[in-house]
Amino acid sequence: MSERTIALVTGANKGIGYEIAAGLGARGMSVGVGARDDGRRAVAVEKLRAAGVDAFGVPLDVTDDESVAAAARLLEERAGRLDVLVNNAAITGGGPQEPTVVDLATVRTVVETNVLGVIRVTNAMLPLLRRSTSPRIVNMSSGVASLTRQSQGGDVGPISAAYAPSKTFLNAVTIQYVKELQGTNILVNAACPGYVATDLNGHRGHRTPEQGAATAIRLATLPDGGPTGGFFEDAGVVPW
Ligand SMILES: NC(=O)c1ccc[n+]([C@@H]2O[C@H](COP(=O)([O-])OP(=O)(O)OC[C@H]3O[C@@H](n4cnc5c(N)ncnc54)[C@H](OP(=O)(O)O)[C@@H]3O)[C@@H](O)[C@H]2O)c1
């Protein structure tokens, strides 16, 4: 078994996921770069290695059972366990997403990736996480998931019946994992990165991917006895 802490970041070939991988790598972790495209994954791994990160590629499409099972086998063979899982991969699904006109196929596709993908990956990795002395699961959520913020108005993104509710669904699922895993050493939390300039939003965000990665990195490196079942952003707790 590896002495280094082993992490897997899904959707790590670009954007916030790439910076989470870089940040965990800079903290000495061995980082699995989960990415579905062979070329994009290879470029990201190469770039991380050039920056001194102990990075390795993990072919991973979070919507595909066989791909996820193969990723678990790869980690099993490479490290025999997993210490940190960051469920970062997600899609917006494109528009229009106003509830009165949204295409149901859009909602299904978004939920398949952003919610079922997280459950699929988490459950495949749990046997490996259970072998860790300090396992951490971080689910990349969003401030738009907050029903409190949505119902109080303010700047919570465009009206959306797919992307925003998928993240609310993810938060709800996160809490159910916390309940089931109560009494274990696995800390499970949700993270909001803020509004970050990435391909996801046509680079309209005002934060850098590195800034967006900070909360997830903090939650991935929590000390034993740290919080579980929380929803956090840089400024602190996000209301559900
Ligand atoms: N950017 C923001 O302002 C913002 C705000 C709140 C929350 N978030 C959340 O932060 C996370 C990262 O977003 P981002 O802004 O960095 O987006 P991004 O640049 O679009 O990156 C998304 C990543 O997810 C991957 N991905 C999508 N579907 C996948 C699948 N089926 N299997 C495996 N990987 C898949 C993408 O891979 P490909 O390159 O192959 O497409 C890419 O690596 C997401 O969970 C997002 O919802 C972002």
Residue 66, ligand 1, Cβ within 6 A: no
pLDDT in tens, 175-234: 999 999 999 999 999 999 999 999 999 999 999 999 999 999 999 999 999 999 999 999
Closest ligand 1 atom, residue 60 Cα: 33
> Domains of the chain (ranges plus CATH)?
6-237 (3.40.50.720)
In this prediction, residue 132 carries a pLDDT of: 98
Closest ligand 1 atom, residue 89 Cα: 24
pLDDT in tens, 67-85: 999 999 999 999 999 999 9
Scanning the chain, the segments in alpha helix (DSSP H) are 15-26, 38-50, 65-78, 104-111, 117-129, 147-151, 163-180, 209-220
- The closest residue, in CA terms, to atom 20 on ligand 1 is 200
Task: State which amino acid sits at residue 200.
Answer: L
Cα 106 from Cα 227, distance rounded (Å): 34
- φ and ψ at 35, to 5 degrees? -155, 145
14 Cα: distance to centroid of ligand 1 (angstroms): 8
Cα 34 from Cα 11, distance rounded (Å): 6
- The closest residue, in CA terms, to atom 21 on ligand 1 is 15
Tell me the pLDDT band of 2, cut-offs 50, 70 and 90. low
pLDDT in tens, 11-26: 999 999 999 999 999 9
- Position 1 pLDDT exceeds 90: no
Does the pTM exceed 0.85?
A: yes
Instruction: Clarify whether 163 is annotated catalytic.
Output: yes
Residue 221, ligand 1, Cβ within 6 A: no
Percent residues over pLDDT 90 in the chain: 97
Residue in 46, 67, 49, 48 with CA at minimum distance from that of residue 58: 67
Q: How far apart are the first and last CA of the chain?
A: 38
Tell me the pLDDT band of 91, cut-offs 50, 70 and 90. very high
pLDDT in tens, 155-185: 899 999 999 999 999 999 999 999 999 999 9
Instruction: Tell me if 72 sits within 8 A of 129, measured CB to CB.
Output: no
